[in-house]
Structure 1
């Protein structure tokens, strides 16, 4: 780990100002991802800005009937919140599917939004990685890429977003609230918050320099059966190979409405509204999968590549739809 300076601001405005003034500064709260990256010298911030003392740890009702979740709300606390458990079940289930109990006690809402990829080559500083060192190449293309993206990838990067929470937030149409160094507030729909890699895989979100996440706003609850199914290599403490977050409402024997978001397939949570429309129109999971997986491409690589994710995502969606229609 390289040497760094440490700041503990007393206000949101001071935190954003410090981040804008200090080159290569990073905010830190739980540190469950950042500190690991610092130990490996994947991340080498000049300054850590500790935001734990800021008043950003509340879960509040909004006038519109939704919830405003502070950036510092711990994953365990959010999963256990009565309204989240009762009205935003897909989010509670996704949070409980992530990491371990100990990590959920430390990890924060904002930190989870910003969680970085678990690509082996991103973590290995001896290997080329355009995300870690732009222009160096992507060792995952043609390498061990079993966990990598089959949708939205580019010739520069085939990494995936590892977060379970983000997939559920995408299904719920969450909005990320931020404050900039001049005190300017922004609301960023989560659909626009995470970016696909394109030619700049090192730019992972829509955040501007110095901008601090202050909260995530959830719209009023969506009626229906809330489900989160995660397929992984072991029963606990593993990242999704494929996951599906779904809110499916039945009207008699047919699907009346649906929200579907996939994890483990792309650089960002993957949601295709055409897939939801196909499920409503036909009642068939395969019709939804055809739309959601349009353009999906597997990679050849050492150990067999990742093309298996495409049929696996289809089967996972079938299981989710079957569970929802039985409920």
Structure 2
């Protein structure tokens, strides 16, 4: 009996080792719990353009061809597969299904199913440069895109095909805007062009600045604003024929504390001067709103004669390249993506 016991005892380590080897070779562990989802917005992301619809849906586009979509007014976002890996500079939408995005290297991508599939399309390239900066979607499937190398592109079929309007030239056009058949373009060296025939022809008008203009918007056929580097603000009241320059003071000079809403926290008001770069401007239905570097948000009166500056929060030094307003809130994109319910008048 002792002999049998001794044999079993001596064999026990071999049995344990054999069992461990079998488990390691033939038994595959089953994962427990859900894998951590990759966040939509990651450290190092940069977003340059956005398109906002009236029903809570919006797109944002940016570095590495990244596209994000919300259908609930920014409460949640999901990544959409892009057809490119270059930085996308802007996106525009005709409706919830049709949209177009443009970017570096002359990239143009379109969707006709709400972004389930984005596909690349051919667009004219030039010999100087091919970075497309802005795209605007107009009624009837029309679109305009502008960029470096004098690129001025037009589409009439929801972005599927494009043609160059005008010659190649050594200038970057940074934005384009239309009101009915009137059009305006702004770009490097303060240059401004105007069209009164739906973009068929363009003529240059005198500009009071040599600073690069980054954005232009008109609220009607007569009244518009252009903004640019070094805090330049230009105002026109005659359809872009003539422009005058307005000023504001940096949020880092002569502050006065003001009351803002809960999302924006306390801000600061400043009245004259210019320091920060302004990269986008919109007419929000009530007033002008411009955004730019160092967290700057500049509010213009209805007639664009008075401009005051603040930040989303006192310590905000993010840069914002684009702003848009839906019926319920504002969207800002740049070094981060921000939504806010309201910006009270300064």
User: Normalising to structure 1: TM-score of the pair?
Assistant: 0.23
Q: Which has the higher strand share?
A: 2
Task: Pick 1 or 2: higher relative contact order, CA cutoff 8 A, min separation 6.
Answer: 1
Greater C-alpha radius of gyration: 2
Report which of the two has the higher share of helix.
1
